[in-house]
Amino acid sequence: MSVLLYAPVSKPIRERYQHEIEKLVPREEIETYRTKEDLSSRLRLPRKDIALAVLIATNKKKFLEIFSLCELLGDLRIILLLSDRKEDTIFEGHRLRPRFLGYADSDLKVVAPVLKNMLSVGIESGNLPERSGDPAWVKKESVNAGADLVNSHSAKVT
């Protein structure tokens, strides 16, 4: 099983996301794509082995490119990070039916905890076949980013 990462963004940003995903999934299990054409070709191949897709857009044009692949994305489980918070971008974002919709400029640290839950829930419910011979696929190390975010928030919001 692999995680598909679509990151048509600058190298440093891409590497940051890769790094977050690598906290959970071995590097060789991450399929990274940088252009719409490559992503589109990949989506035209059997995808039973793709556990889910993380799609990142840092500007509207890149987002619209993702959106144009709507039909091919079908019912892949998607984590979508949008380029901006404008109403129409959010509207189109929801039309891709993401399981998690966030923003590229603020949700880097949220990706890992969400991904972690998605991977374990998927396997439990049979949505994702377990990888044969490697039950420890989902790395066990703790991912605290989400907890950090909210621990600090619950401390402040009363």
Partner 1 sequence: MARILIIDDDQTICKMLSTMVSEIGHDTTCRYTLNEGLKEVVSNPYDAVLLDVQMPDGSGLDILPKIRETPSSPEVIILTGFGNVDGAEIAIKNGAWDYIQKTDSPRKIILPLQRVIQYRDALKKVQKSTVALRLNGIVGDSSPIRACFNLLAQAATSDANVLLTGETGTGKEVFAEAIHANSPRHSNNFVVVDCATLPEALVENMLFGHERGAFTGADKTREGLIKQANKGTLFLDEVGELPLSVQKGFLRVLQERRFRPLGSRREIESDFRIIAATHRDLDDMVKHGLFREDLLFRLRSMTIALPPLREHPEDIKPLAIHHIYKLCEHYGMETKGFSSGFFKALEAYGWPGNIRELFNVLESTLAAAKNAPTLFEKHLPVNIRVLFAQSSLRKEISAKGDLMEGPNPAKTLPMLQDFHKAMEKKYLQDLIRITMGNIKEACRISGMSRSSLYDRLKRHRLSISK
Ligand X SMILES: Nc1ncnc2c1ncn2[C@@H]1O[C@H](COP(=O)(O)OP(=O)(O)OP(=O)(O)O)[C@@H](O)[C@H]1O
Q: Please, are residues 8 and 62 in contact by the beta-carbon 8 Å criterion?
A: yes
d(CA 31, CA 52): 11
> How many of the chain's residues bind partner 1 (CB under 8 A)?
45
d(CA 129, CA 126): 6
Q: What minimum distance in Å lies between the beta carbon of 55 and ligand X?
A: 18
- For residue 129, give the DSSP letter: P
In terms of CB distance, is 1 or 108 closer to ligand X? 1
Stretches 7-15, 22-30, 59-67, 140-148: which one binds partner 1 (CB under 8 A)? 140-148
Backbone angles phi and psi of 118, in degrees to 5: -65, -40
Q: Which residue is nearest to ligand X (CB)?
A: 75
**Residues whose CB falls within 8 Å of the CB of residue 128, separated by 6 or more in sequence, listed in order:** 1, 51, 119, 122
Judged by the rule CB under 6 A, the positions of this chain that interact with ligand X are 75, 125, 127
In terms of CB distance, is 75 or 88 closer to ligand X? 75
In terms of CB distance, is 79 or 145 closer to ligand X? 79
Task: Choose among partner 1, ligand X, none what residue 59 binds, the Cβ cut-off being 5 to 8 Å by kind.
Answer: none
The answer to whether 156 contacts partner 1 (rule: CB under 8 A) is yes
The answer to whether 70 contacts partner 1 (rule: CB under 8 A) is no
Backbone angles phi and psi of 140, in degrees to 5: -85, -10
Q: What minimum distance in Å lies between the beta carbon of 47 and ligand X?
A: 12
Q: Please, are residues 50 and 1 in contact by the beta-carbon 8 Å criterion?
A: yes
The answer to whether 54 contacts partner 1 (rule: CB under 8 A) is no
d(CA 18, CA 51): 16
d(CA 95, CA 88): 11
Contact set with partner 1 (CB under 8 A)? 43-48, 72, 74-75, 85, 90-91, 94-95, 97-101, 103, 105-106, 110, 113-114, 116-118, 121, 125-127, 129, 146-157
